[in-house]
Amino acid sequence: MSEKRFSPSCENNRVPILSVLKEALVGRKHLLEIGSGTGQHAVYFAPELTHLIWQTSDLTLNHPSIKAWLADSPASNLRQPLAFKIGTDDWPVTGVDCVYTANTTHIMQPCEAREMMQVVAQTLPSGGVFCQYGPFTIDGEFTSQSNHDFNQHLLNEGCGGIRDIAELTLWAGTLELVEQHPMPANNFMLVWHKP
């Protein structure tokens, strides 16, 4: 049985996400992806962003799928997954000047989401970029009924739930939110810079 898992949402959102990443990551050299999930985003984005080293990471239980995708779609700038759980593991790689994460913030507990914002802010060098994709609330308001329902599902499953952009800004410390791109399916891409 193949370890390779497939996420329809990864397939559906990869083109609009890539269009933002191509602009946001100009001049960056070494990216850490927090929560590579199935591995689909990494194998699609890395060949399109050849100026970057794309370092995958996730909980070890997700590594077989990531490795299977990487084996089927190898790219010279794509790296095998590192074990990384926010709040448990140390920052897994040195020399990173940009970070990307998709659909992780609402899975994390609030304390983990806060720690992610803080550790990214501490670790990125001046000029570093953090691209954060997913559903978010704005001033405490859901952007759609479907996101409200999804949040209730997340809470029922024991996840932390959808975070508010103002809350993330408070936690982000030295990071500045420079762009807030509306994306398909009531999501956003938040682009943070470290001055």
Domain ranges for the chain, please list them.
8-193
Taking Cα atoms as reference points, which of 79, 91, 162 lies closest to residue 128?
Answer: 91
pLDDT at 32: 98
CATH topology of domain 8-193: Rossmann fold (3.40.50)
Q: How many CB atoms lie within 10 A of CB 132?
A: 27
Q: How many CB atoms lie within 10 A of CB 31?
A: 26
Summary mean pLDDT of the chain: 96
The torsion of the CA quartet 76, 77, 78, 80, rounded to 10 degrees, works out to 80
pLDDT band at 125 (very low <50, low <70, confident <90, very high): very high
**Mean pLDDT to the nearest integer, 13-19:** 97
pLDDT digits (tens, 9 = 90+) for 72-116: 999 999 999 999 999 999 999 999 999 999 999 999 999 999 999
pLDDT digits (tens, 9 = 90+) for 32-52: 999 999 999 999 999 999 999
